[in-house]
Each structure stands twice: as C-alpha cells, then as structure tokens.
Amino acid sequence: MSSRPLRIGLLGFGGVVARFHVPALKAHAARCEIAAVARGDANRLAEAKTLAGTHRGYADWRELVADPDLDAVLIASPNALHADQAVAALEAGKDVLCEKPPAMNAAEAERMAAAAVQHGRVLRYGFLLRYADESVRAKAEFDAGRLGEVYHVRARWFRRRGYPTQGSWFTTKRLSGGGVLADLGSHLLDRALWLLGYPRIEAVSAVTHARLRESKVVQLMKSGPKSGNTGICDVEDLAVCLFRLGGGASLILECSFAVNLPETPFSTDLLGDRAGLRLRPGQPVELFGEDGGAVTDTSIDPKGVAKDQHNLYERQIRAFLDAVQARDLSPAHPREGVALMRALEAAYASAERGREVGLGS
C-alpha cells in the first residue's frame, strides 16, 4: 500500500456513526480519512457531510461504492442492507468494515464471506466487546490454559429501559432481522465464542418475549433519531438462549432492551475445571480457583481500562487499518460472521417453533 491515508467511505450515517465512528476515524487521521458519505435521507446528506468533514456525498449508496477514489467502506446502515452493500463494495475492490450483526441471516453472511475470498479483500465486523480491556485479558487467561477446560459460559446484558428508537428500522424486523438478540445478543455471543476460539455450535434452545414495548417508560438511554421511520415495533425485548457447543460445553445467553431489574451491562462468566473467570465492563478480571486445598480469588486489573465507548471504537478502527495494511486476507473473520449468523438464525427458529434446533455439521 502507498503511504497516503486510507480513503474510507461511510455507508449510513446514524447517531452511532456521528458520535462514535467519525471521532474514531479522525483519531487515526494519519492513517485514514473520511473521503465520502452516503445517506439515504437526501435531506440530511448535507448535515452528514459537514459532520464527517468531507465535501463528497451520495444519496445513492451504489454511487459511493462505485467511486474509484475510495479504498474501503464502513457499513453502518440498516441490517437489511449489509449483505448487498458489502458484496458490492468487495466486488468493486474495496475493503470492508461492517457493523454488527453481519447480515440478516446465514445465507447473506455466506455471500459476504465468499465475495471477500473471491476478490481478495479484507472483511471485518464491528464487534466492539473484543477490544475491551477485560476481554483482552480474559482471552489471554483462557489461551494460557489457566481455566482448564471451560465447560459452561453465561453471558448477560440487561437494560432496564433501553429500546433504541422505537418505530425506526431498528425495531422493524424486516429491516433489522430481530430485536435485542440481533443487537446486544450478537455482541455477547461473539465475545463468548471468540474467547473460546469460536467452537462449533451444535444446537440451540431459545425463547423470546416482547412484554415491555408498550410500557409508558420504554427509553431511558441516549439514543439519537434513526433513519427510516416505520412506526413499527415488532421485535423481541428479551431473549434467553441455551447453546450446546461441540465437546459438551454449554453457553447461556440472556439479553433485554427492557426488563424490570437493575441494569446489567455486558457481563460474562466462564466456568473451567481449573478456575472460573468473571468479566465486568471497566472492572478487573476476577479469577476464582483453588490452590493447596483452599479456594483462591485473584483480581487482575487490566492496564489502560477504556472508560468510554469512544476508546473501543478507536481500537476497532486501528485493528481494521492494521488488517488492511498487512493485507490480512485470512477467511477466519468472515467465517466467524457466518457461524454467528447461523447461531442467531437457529435461535430465532427455536423460539418460533418452541423446540431445540440443531445446526448440523
């Protein structure tokens, strides 16, 4: 690659892009620049260009993808557009960083992974929790074998009231693919599987509920307006899943947009036969084991704890830039996106059918 900054185009420009992606990209100004923006809402395109700091804007995302002056795209559009936009960008010779979830279903994720391999481009997904200090330290503990064989994982993320803009594409199933399981659940599931080296998922049993979306108090979180006003909220606000992993291990995932309990942000517990490990955001990793006939508790304080999400987005952008610069074309990352979508798709099918669903070989 040349020494000039990587020229990146933004596909989609909602609140998360403005508050997190743009500052993260600008934090790496020596390595990349925002060269163009595409926003379906033509009336707000000028605002997006101003916030992004670029004069080049497109109302049609296809025109941005076809722009020969761009090297890469960051996709932060409604989930229903991810696959088509990513495949088009990869076919146009651009590297891709796509927000989570990867796609609407496993077949779409397969198309994306195949396009990345066929056209020799980098494809990464926006799973922020991998970059949290506690996640990095927990991964090191697992890889060093300090937990022994991990036989059970529990991951939970409860918002007391945290629907992301009801009546937008986010809460419209045909555009989002699902509710809290597709949104928060994809973060939690990816981190759990990543910590374990992405083991095979054999089956899932899941239930979903939509009990509090009619509550008079549905939103206490700061969530800016999202494009695509539909007036529809037909997604779940609670999901509970039991995944059976290869080798007999199990993984329980619980997540909710709205629940009548205190907030529980993205926590994960790993149970190993040598030690257990607890992850809590911004807190020391806790290791629970035994030594000399007595139980032991060890607190491992990760260095440089990220105090806010801006830091995680900056790390994510840095990892993407590193992969592009190194031309890391390993199919592992795209294949993990496929595995994740297969798991989510099976979980929704299980909830709908009321029985366990196998994922096959």
CATH code of residue 63: 3.40.50.720
The 10 Å Cβ neighbour count of residue 110 is: 18
Same domain, yes or no: 172 and 245: yes
Q: What is the CATH number of the domain that holds 271?
A: 3.30.360.10
Shared domain for 75 and 31, answered yes or no, is yes
- 201 and 220, same domain (yes or no): yes
For residue 323, give its domain range.
6-129+314-329
Q: In this structure, is residue 280 part of a structural domain? A: yes
Report the pLDDT value the prediction gives residue 255, as an integer from 0 to 100: 98
Residues 10 and 94 in one domain: yes
In a domain, 39, yes or no: yes
Side-chain half-sphere of 135: how many Cα atoms within 13 Å?
24
Sheet holding 123-126, edge to edge: 57-58, 32-38, 6-11, 72-75, 95-99, 123-126
| Comparison of pLDDT for 165 and 21, the residue scoring more | 21
Residue 266 belongs to some domain of the structure: yes
What's the pLDDT tens digit per position in 113-132?
Answer: 999 999 999 999 999 999 99
Tell me the two tokens of residue 325. Answer: 């610069």
Q: Are residues 82 and 110 in the same domain?
A: yes
Asked if 41 and 151 sit in the same domain, the reply is: no
Question: Residue 55 domain-assigned?
Answer: yes
Asked if residue 101 has a cis previous peptide bond (ω within 30° of 0), the answer is: yes
Write down the mean pLDDT value for the chain: 93
Query: pLDDT (tens digit, 9 = 90+) per residue, 317-336?
Result: 999 999 999 999 999 999 99
Number of domains forming the structure of the chain: 2
At 310, the pLDDT band (50, 70, 90 cuts) reads low
Of 4-18, 52-66, 176-190, 218-232, the least confident: 218-232
Identify whether 35 is part of a domain. Answer: yes
Question: pTM here?
Answer: 0.94
| One domain for residues 110 and 25 | yes
Let me know if residue 334 belongs to a domain. no
| DSSP H stretches of helix in 92-226 | 106-119, 133-143, 173-176, 180, 186-195
> Do 187 and 300 belong to one domain?
yes
Q: In b/e form, how buried is each residue of 177-202, taking b as 16+ CB within 10 angstroms? A: bbbbbbbbbbbbbbbbbbbbeebebb
Q: How confident is the model at residue 220 (pLDDT cuts 50, 70, 90)?
A: low
Q: Are strands 250-256 and 150-158 parallel, antiparallel or unpaired?
A: parallel
Q: Write down the residue that tokens 């779940």 correspond to.
A: 236
